[in-house]
Copies of this chain bind each other. A is one copy, B any other.
Amino acid sequence: MQQRQMNLGAFFLIPGHHLGGWRHPEASAEKVLSFDFMKELAQTAERGKFDMIFIGDELKGAGNSEIGRHLARYTSFEPTTLLSALSTVTEKIGLAATLSTTFNEPFHVARKLASIDHLSGGRVGWNVVTSSMSAEAHNFGQGNLMLHEERYLRAAEFMEVVKGLWDTYEDDALVIDKKTGIFSDADKIQPLDYQGKWFSVKGPLNIARPPQGYPVMIQAGTSEAGRELAARSAEAVFAACHTFEEAREYYSDMKGRLAKYGRSPEEFKIMPGVYPIVGRTEEEANEKEALMNELVLPKLGVAFLSGLTGIDLSGYSIDDPFPGIFPDSSNNNGIKSRIEVMKGISGRENLTIRQFYEKIAGARGHWSIKGSPSQIADQLEYWFREGAADGFNVMPPYLPGGLNDFVDLVIPELQQRGLFRTEYTGRTLREHLGLSRPENQRVQAVSRVTE
């Protein structure tokens, strides 16, 4: 029997996850809105046999002008349009887009994802997020961000509607018989007639069922509500775990929650984020890290840390100890889990303000690793073998350099150990991830009634 292998996502934040990454000599910051650059990145990830490209998203522009001027991330392609374009210049790699359930309509989301799944021959994933910032609500006519609990209830209903819309077409609904003039079998295309708390959607959808049945459902939440939603409906999770212990706890907790929804552990892939600094040697990796730390302007680092922790740091010197008194996070309506991770770091380590922001300037609370290719592979292998991960969502510090390093140095090491594929064996993202193709639930329900 073949050895169990990792699944890997290439998480693109253009032009890099590190706050100062865009300033790195091997970052193409000036190409942030160049399709040719996106194509180069996608083809590099495909050369590395990644399961998927993963695109995060926020529905807001640069908020604070003093800090905003130093941040590269507030001008970027919109995920569904970008992935549609990338589908034409890649052949096998999956394409995962982040789309918010708080600020979208299920009909649009179902249709667009189905459209890209058809364009790409079944390579789409949907990273389902509820959005966490008031600034996002303000772009959609909402004075306040909907409450955390409400957002998760809406997300659950949203996903139900979207899956229902995909199921309005049976897989073999299209007949396309020129002779008889029958284009589709009308009995196999049915309205949804959904009436819920948040949504009322008649259907049917105006595109055939996606090649994958449903695009792969991905989530990232680690709050209690987020975990339950993921256990119920996600097929891959991209969690922020800062330490092995956190990751193992999360892994075991999540796999344990599946049974009550009638799901098996194999149908649920846990892929924590990992932020790797890769050198040809350990020394080179250390040098890279030092260079990146230099690239973060102190005022940017302090503002970033303040934003992630919710602590006002304006009265402190940068080399003062980090004041670990967090505001009450039960009142926080944003990403609850991120604050918990920050508390964890603060509690475990005695850091100055500068040391703290340097620690999170790339990984933002995700797992951060550094070293030679074999040292990186050792750390990934440990998490993978010891019950903390089924794979990883790789967050390159800067692009294209950080991705090239991972593909050219780390992937061959993982392949040599038998931990990662050397060729794609499947054609769809589901096949890459080892997930089965979902049955049409509407048809299943009808056949249960008829039996």
Query: Which residues in A have some Cβ–Cβ distance to B below 8 Å?
Result: 20, 22-23, 25, 27, 29-30, 32-33, 35, 39, 58-62, 65-66, 68-72, 74-78, 80-82, 84-85, 87-89, 103-105, 107-108, 111-112, 114-116, 118-119, 135, 138-141, 143, 168-169, 174-176, 178, 181-187, 189, 199-208, 295, 297, 300
Across the interface, which residues of B come within 8 angstroms of A105, CB to CB?
Answer: 103, 140
With the chains together, A141 CA to B209 CA distance in Å? 22
Per the bound structure, the CA–CA distance linking A58 and B205 in Å amounts to 11
Contact status A186-B107, CB under 8 Å = no
Is there an interface contact between B183 and A77, defined as CB atoms closer than 8 Å? no
- Among A59, A68, A85, A168, the most chain B Cβ lie within 10 Å of the Cβ of A85
The answer to whether B61 and A189 touch across the interface, beta carbons within 8 angstroms, is: yes
Give the Cβ gap from A88 to chain B, nearest Cβ, in Å. Answer: 5
A205 CA / B201 CA spacing, docked (Å): 29
Chain B residues in 8 Å Cβ range of A87: 35, 85
Question: Which of chain B's residues have a CB closer than 8 A to the CB of A174?
Answer: 32, 75
19 example contacts (A-B, Cβ-Cβ < 8 A) are as follows: A22-B183, A29-B176, A61-B203, A69-B175, A72-B176, A74-B189, A76-B207, A78-B114, A80-B80, A81-B115, A81-B119, A82-B84, A84-B85, A85-B85, A103-B108, A139-B203, A141-B199, A143-B200, A181-B297
**A72 nearest CB across to chain B (Å):** 5
Question: What is the minimal beta-carbon distance from A303 to any residue of chain B, in angstroms?
Answer: 13
Complex alpha-carbon distance, A447 and B331, angstroms: 44
Q: Which of A62, A66, A116, A135 has the most CB of B within 10 A?
A: A62
Q: Could you tell me if A202 and B138 are in contact, using CB atoms closer than 8 angstroms? A: yes
Q: How far is the CA of A184 from the CA of B141 in the complex (A)?
A: 27
Residues in B neighbouring A66, C-beta threshold 8 A: 186
* Cβ distance A122 to chain B, nearest Cβ, rounded Å: 12
New A-B contacts (19) at CB < 8 Å, excluding given A65-B187, A66-B186, A81-B119: A20-B181, A22-B176, A35-B119, A61-B168, A61-B189, A61-B205, A62-B186, A69-B184, A69-B186, A71-B184, A75-B174, A75-B184, A78-B114, A81-B115, A82-B119, A84-B84, A85-B85, A107-B139, A107-B140
